Each structure stands twice: as structure tokens, then as C-alpha cells.
Structure 1
Amino acid sequence: MAVPKRRMSRANTRTRRSQWKAHNPALMETKIDGQTVRIPRRLIKAAQLGLVEVEQF
């Protein structure tokens, strides 16, 4: 496991953290109740089972 050689300054730590960005989830097209919707892949099965409302996407 990588271990830092010395303490990193607060400014350098915050600069490094500020560069991190979340990615938008990849949307997949699927048919649910006869209509085609675009939802994240991880929610397709829950949407088909009716556990997730599709209108919020």
C-alpha cells in the first residue's frame, strides 16, 4: 500500500480533492410498461419489477 513520505499541506490537499468530479451515470434505453425510457443500468431491474418510479429520470 502506498504511504505518503511526509505530511501534505492543507492547501495541496484541498486542491487535489477539488479536482475530483463525479461522472453522470450511463443511461440505457429499456421498455417498461410498453414505453421506452432511459434510466441508469443499475436501476433497470428494479424499474421492471416496479420498485422504482420511472418518471423521476
Structure 2
Amino acid sequence: MLMNIHLSLVPVVSLLAGVLILVMPKLLNYIVAFYLIAIGLIGLFGGGHFHLHL
């Protein structure tokens, strides 16, 4: 039995950023800056249609 899981890149980055903010609140500025840069790069290079198949 093979199970296909489709993960989009943007929600994974958002989830990771949220967890890091909860664990290390002092890093909020850096996490938000990294998140915004990552989302901008994904938008510019069309990575929003990238899916991970696990």
C-alpha cells in the first residue's frame, strides 16, 4: 500500500516559522524576515507550484 502525501512549499515554510516563533520568541524579527524573503523568492521563481511527493 503506497500513500501519496502532497505538501505545498508555502504552508510548510509557514508551519516551520510558526513553530520557531513559539519555541524561540526572541528570534521573531529574524524568522519574519526570513519568511518574507522566502515567500518573495518563491513568488518570483514560481516555486509556489512545487510539491513534495512523499
Q: Which has the higher contact order (CA 8 A, sep 6+)?
A: 2
TM-score (normalizing by structure 2)? 0.28
Name the one with the larger helix percent.
2
Larger radius of gyration: 1
Name the one with the larger strand percent.
1
TM-score (normalizing by structure 1)? 0.27
